[in-house]
């Protein structure tokens, strides 16, 4: 479940709206989305080979702690982007950093645990249930996320809306 608690579904849903708020053209938004997928794929390959050297626990902790920091920073940048134009570019950099950190551990490491969690005669059933859960939960989150994001705006990623920001509007 740590995979879903990282907020990857929210970031994937929000990516194009972040691009739109940065006044990036639709064609460039498509290229940026493709670039995010390419970065995710390449970093997953790199970290898949590094898992034996660095260890699963280390990669998972680096990934989860880095994701937390990236989400907090991304939330601040989204909240303050109207005040400072330069934060638009930091949003983009943080988005790519987030994808790299997600690929570092939380993306592929949970699949390694199937062999350790289930006994040999139940491993196939356990892996099936786990994989279905891994891919069904983001689908459910995606269905609910847009309405949640509409109500909470930029603060949906890490922290609740502050009273001071409400009084400014």
pLDDT band at residue 163 using 50, 70 and 90 as cut-offs: very low
The burial class, CB within 10 Å (0-12 / 13-18 / 19+), for 63 is buried
Dihedrals phi, psi of 124, to nearest 5 degrees: -65, -45
- pLDDT tens per residue across span 30-63: 888 888 889 988 988 888 888 888 888 888 889 8
Q: What pLDDT is recorded for position 167? A: 45
Tell me: pLDDT of 5 over 80: no
Higher pLDDT, 83 or 95: 95
As a whole number, the mean pLDDT across the chain is 77
pLDDT band at residue 149 using 50, 70 and 90 as cut-offs: low
Segment 64-67 long-range contacts (CB within 8 Å, at least 24 positions apart): 64/2, 64/6, 64/105, 64/106, 66/97, 66/101, 66/104, 67/6, 67/7, 67/98, 67/101, 67/102, 67/106
* pTM of structure: 0.70
Domains of the chain, CATH where assigned: 2-158 (1.20.1250.20)
Q: What share of the chain is helix, strand, coil (3-state, %, to 5)?
A: 85, 0, 15
Three-state SS for 121? Answer: helix
């Amino acid at each position: 479940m740590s995979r879903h608690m990282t907020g990857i579904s929210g970031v994937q849903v929000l990516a194009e709206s972040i691009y739109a708020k940065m006044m990036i053209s639709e064609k460039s938004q498509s290229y940026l989305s493709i670039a995010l997928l390419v970065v995710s794929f390449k970093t997953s390959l790199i970290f898949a080979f590094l898992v034996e050297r660095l260890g699963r626990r280390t990669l998972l902790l680096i990934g989860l702690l880095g994701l937390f920091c990236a989400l907090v920073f991304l939330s601040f940048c989204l909240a303050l982007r109207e005040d400072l134009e330069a934060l638009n570019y930091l949003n983009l950099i943080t988005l790519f950093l987030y994808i790299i950190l997600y690929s570092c551990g939380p993306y592929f490491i949970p699949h390694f645990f199937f062999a350790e969690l289930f006994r040999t005669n139940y491993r196939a059933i356990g892996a099936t249930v786990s994989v279905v859960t891994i891919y069904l939960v983001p689908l459910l989150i995606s269905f609910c996320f847009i309405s949640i994001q509409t109500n909470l705006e930029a603060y949906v990623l890490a922290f609740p809306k502050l009273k001071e920001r409400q009084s400014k509007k």
